[in-house]
């Protein structure tokens, strides 16, 4: 599964670079995290039945960190 996700990211980034059309890339790290983090949080929260403690454990992060990320992505 992680190889499949890695391949998806790799293909998307290659497409991003191909489509730049001469423009300089910038803030790629933030762009990728911004694209991946919200859907990941949505799916994990669904699988945790909305339980933030369970979701935080699944993600391997602190519950307060999860809450901040949920707030940042307007998922609360």
pLDDT digits (tens, 9 = 90+) for 47-76: 999 999 999 999 999 999 999 999 999 999
pLDDT for 31: 93
In order of 28, 34, 52, the CA distances from 17 in angstroms are 10, 17, 36
Domain 2-72 bears CATH identifier 1.10.10.60: yes
Buried b (16+ CB within 10 A) or exposed e, 37-72: ebeebeeebeebeeeeeebbeebeeeeeebeebbee
The answer to whether the beta carbons of residues 38 and 73 sit under 8 Å apart is: yes
Q: Is the pLDDT of residue 25 over 90?
A: yes
């Amino acid at each position: 599964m992680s190889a499949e996700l890695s391949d998806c990211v790799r293909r998307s980034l290659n497409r991003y670079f191909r489509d730049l059309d001469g423009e300089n890339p910038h803030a790629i790290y933030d762009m990728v995290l911004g694209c991946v983090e919200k859907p990941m949080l949505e799916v994990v929260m669904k699988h945790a039945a909305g339980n933030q403690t369970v979701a935080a454990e699944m993600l391997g992060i602190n519950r307060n960190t999860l809450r901040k990320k949920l707030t940042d992505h307007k998922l609360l």
